[in-house]
Amino acid sequence: MKRRDFLGKTLPAGVLLPSLISGFSLKAFGSSSLLSALTAASEETDHVLVIIQLNGGNDGLNMVIPLEYYDNLALARPNIILPQNKIIKLGNFNTGIHPKMTGIGDLYKDGKVQVIQSVGYPTPNFSHFRATDIWETASESDQILSTGWAGRYLGQEYPNFPIGYPNSVMPHPLAIQIGSFLSPAFQGPTLNMGMAISDPVNFYNLLNGIQSPAPNTNAGKELTYIRQVSQQTQQYANVIKEAANKVKVQVTYPTGNALADQLKVVARLIGGGLKTRMYMVNIGSFDTHAGQVVTNATDTGTHAVLLQKVSDAIKAFMDDLKAMEVSKRVVGMTFSEFGRRIKSNAGTGTDHGAAAPIIVFGDAVQGGVLGNNPVISSNTSVNDNIPMQYDFRSVYATLLEKWFCVDKATLDSVMLKNFQSLPIIRSGTNCMSTKTTEANHESGKNLITNYPNPFSSSTTIKYVSKGGHLLIQVFNTMGKLITTLVDEVKPEGNYSITFENRYYPPGVYYARLQNGELQQVRNMMIVR
């Protein structure tokens, strides 16, 4: 095969090059809309977002425990419930985290962690592939999008990329992912606008000038030629190496921890002054259908090991950023494609579920617990799920608006609709709303009630509006959206609406109110 034919058939757009220079593997991302928001926002910013993907569906109830419902949770999952005396309590909230998450616990005490309760979306999908696609594209559950939530913004801001890039304004990669797959989150309408480091080993090969050997075959010769071409044409490689070489000392990271290895690379690039706005790293094996814990030692086992790796890696990463005096630039967040069911199964595991908590961390994060503990009843069924309190797209929208300074009109275009703004970022940082404490201040009040409850034919839902856009949705225990009762701008005041039982089966239903930064979920019971 001729080299020209070989290159034409083996290097499609967005491919991962085996070795860019000296063993450094990079891949180009498709057009990434968020990244344009990150690099060309209306207000100049050096802020960075680090996304940690927990692949497989993380059991949120084993990570963040609603202590006020501990007894009922023990009834629902007797073979995996954590020992109550070992759970790490989070401040004055009646909420705790897994005993192995001491690093996150320490960061929480320092006010650098926010736990966001019950994050999901209406009518969740329980397929790993489809659910991941929904989270990464920010689509509706019944909507297929070809662009990522990050990609859509850059597609608007930089329609001519890569022509003219890198340049003096943005000499560095727009986004970097560590891993060998191309995340749909960064996919834009036409082309890739970032790059990836295939793994930490190749990153250090780059710095040390080590070239991964190519086999002594015809294919190996072509591979060597590709590498030579890559070395000549990849304009970002030198700036990455230059940034990394500026950092001479890093803190000690835990060994045997792939996530820590990835975050160590990210910290080095940030500390070296790279202007890249977004990084994505990942850790897998969260699909714990069986053997999630060790029998009679439920604070150990597969899930405990995973949570400890996540916690230890994040703590080392934050310590490293602090030592390099760049921690104020960085906010990080975790996400998983779905949570797990409330009840455990017979195999000391949990099955695919709906909403789950996420963790946001950083110096600029408004510490604490956002939202209420999910209600766990004493008679949970195998089909019961945690009801959604916060739409995951509200988290994305808030970080774009308040961390990356994206204006409202652009934000609505990127996110495809208007999502709730949440009190995630502390006041005093760039692009921060001054109304940061309203949600926590109001969370103890009953903003939505219903009577009668239980009911058979209908119930009157009473609710409070603080002014602005107000949404009331009703979900079943599987997380399916049953109906939307209110979706409009409401002046400040008290309101009521009737919810009719349209032959819905008996059981628990959830009425969810969203009003600006405020949200609340009300349990309702339909009986025969």
Lowest mean pLDDT: which of 112-121, 170-179, 414-423, 465-474?
A: 170-179
Extract the tokens encoding 213: 């050997």
Lowest mean pLDDT: which of 66-75, 327-336, 502-511?
A: 502-511
Residue 188 has what pLDDT? 67
Residue 346 has what pLDDT? 94
Using the predicted structure, report yes or no on whether residue 124 has a pLDDT greater than 90: yes
In a shared domain, residues 374 and 467: no
- Which residue, of 398, 421, 440, is where some domain finishes? 440
Residue 215 has what pLDDT? 58
Q: By C-alpha distance, which of 90, 91, 65 is closest to 80?
A: 65
pLDDT tens digits along 447-457: 999 999 999 99
Question: Does a structural domain hold residue 246?
Answer: yes
Contacts of 279 (CB under 8 A, 6+ apart): 48, 49, 50, 51, 175, 176, 177, 178, 266, 269
In a shared domain, residues 206 and 177: yes
User: Vertex 197, ends 101 and 244: CA angle to 5°?
Assistant: 85
Residue 239 has what pLDDT? 83
Domain that holds residue 363: 25-210+237-440
- In a 3-state reduction of DSSP, which class is residue 236? coil
In a shared domain, residues 502 and 397: no
Residue 462 has what pLDDT? 94
- Give percent of the chain with pLDDT exceeding 70: 78
Residue 71 has what pLDDT? 97
pLDDT tens digits along 275-320: 888 899 999 999 999 999 999 999 999 999 999 999 999 999 999 9
- Which residue, of 440, 460, 476, is where some domain finishes? 440
Extract the tokens encoding 125: 């999908």
Question: Does a structural domain hold residue 191?
Answer: yes
Residue 39 has what pLDDT? 43
Residue 5 has what pLDDT? 39
Mean pLDDT of 463-483: 90
Question: Does a structural domain hold residue 15?
Answer: no
What is the average pLDDT score of the chain? 83
For residue 112, is it left (φ>0), alpha (ψ between -120 and 50) or beta? alpha
Residue 2 has what pLDDT? 39
Question: Does a structural domain hold residue 222?
Answer: no
| CA gap 483, 460 in Å, rounded | 15
In a shared domain, residues 432 and 481: no
What domain count does the chain have?
A: 2
| CA gap 471, 290 in Å, rounded | 38
Residue 510: give its domain's CATH number: 2.60.40.1930
21 vs 484, higher pLDDT: 484
Is the alpha carbon torsion for 14, 17, 18, 24 positive or negative?
A: negative
Residue 468 has what pLDDT? 87
Residue type, 493: G
Position 163 confidence tier, pLDDT thresholds 50, 70, 90 = low
Position 148 confidence tier, pLDDT thresholds 50, 70, 90 = confident
Lowest mean pLDDT: which of 48-57, 116-125, 197-206?
A: 197-206
Using the predicted structure, report yes or no on whether residue 218 has a pLDDT greater than 70: no
Extract the tokens encoding 315: 């703590």
pLDDT tens digits along 370-391: 999 999 999 999 999 999 999 9
Contact assessment for residue 508 and residue 437, using Cβ atoms and an 8 Å cutoff: no
Question: Does a structural domain hold residue 13?
Answer: no
Position 237 confidence tier, pLDDT thresholds 50, 70, 90 = confident
In a shared domain, residues 422 and 466: no
- Which residues are registered as beta bridge partners of 448? 463
| CA gap 34, 188 in Å, rounded | 9
Q: What are the φ and ψ backbone dihedral angles of 133, each rounded to 5 degrees? A: -60, -40
In a shared domain, residues 243 and 293: yes
Position 20 confidence tier, pLDDT thresholds 50, 70, 90 = very low
For residue 489, is it left (φ>0), alpha (ψ between -120 and 50) or beta? beta
In a shared domain, residues 278 and 255: yes
- In a 3-state reduction of DSSP, which class is residue 175? strand
Using the predicted structure, report yes or no on whether residue 446 has a pLDDT greater than 50: yes
Position 472 confidence tier, pLDDT thresholds 50, 70, 90 = very high
Largest CA distance in the chain: 78
| CA gap 212, 196 in Å, rounded | 17
Using the predicted structure, report yes or no on whether residue 352 has a pLDDT greater than 50: yes
User: Vertex 239, ends 236 and 245: CA angle to 5°?
Assistant: 140
pLDDT tens digits along 35-53: 444 444 344 568 999 999 9
Using the predicted structure, report yes or no on whether residue 73 has a pLDDT greater than 50: yes
Q: Strand order in 518-526's β-sheet?
A: 481-490, 468-476, 507-515, 518-526
| CA gap 96, 35 in Å, rounded | 34
Strand 95-97 and strand 64-66: the pairing is: antiparallel
Contact assessment for residue 301 and residue 89, using Cβ atoms and an 8 Å cutoff: no
Question: Does a structural domain hold residue 32?
Answer: yes
pLDDT tens digits along 90-108: 998 899 999 999 999 999 9
Contact assessment for residue 314 and residue 251, using Cβ atoms and an 8 Å cutoff: no
Residue type, 23: G
Using the predicted structure, report yes or no on whether residue 420 has a pLDDT greater than 70: yes
402 vs 38, higher pLDDT: 402
- Which residue, of 382, 410, 440, is where some domain finishes? 440
Q: What is the dihedral of CA 471, 474, 475, 481, to 10 degrees?
A: -70
Mean pLDDT of 356-366: 97
Residue 75: give its domain's CATH number: 3.40.720
Mean pLDDT of 414-423: 91
Residue 477 has what pLDDT? 86
Position 430 confidence tier, pLDDT thresholds 50, 70, 90 = low
524 vs 1, higher pLDDT: 524
Residue 204 has what pLDDT? 78
Position 324 confidence tier, pLDDT thresholds 50, 70, 90 = very high
In a shared domain, residues 49 and 188: yes
Residue 40 has what pLDDT? 43
Position 157 confidence tier, pLDDT thresholds 50, 70, 90 = low
Residue 410 has what pLDDT? 83
In a shared domain, residues 277 and 413: yes
| CA gap 415, 398 in Å, rounded | 11
Residue 175 has what pLDDT? 67
For residue 249, is it left (φ>0), alpha (ψ between -120 and 50) or beta? beta
In a shared domain, residues 423 and 454: no
Residue 360 has what pLDDT? 98
Extract the tokens encoding 188: 């834009």
For residue 79, the number of C-alpha atoms closer than 13 Å in the C-beta half-sphere is: 14
- Give percent of the chain with pLDDT exceeding 90: 58
Of 234-238, 295-299, 405-409, which one has max mean pLDDT? 295-299
Residue 151 has what pLDDT? 75
Residue 380 has what pLDDT? 93
In a shared domain, residues 400 and 502: no
| CA gap 350, 342 in Å, rounded | 8
In a shared domain, residues 436 and 463: no
Question: Does a structural domain hold residue 232?
Answer: no
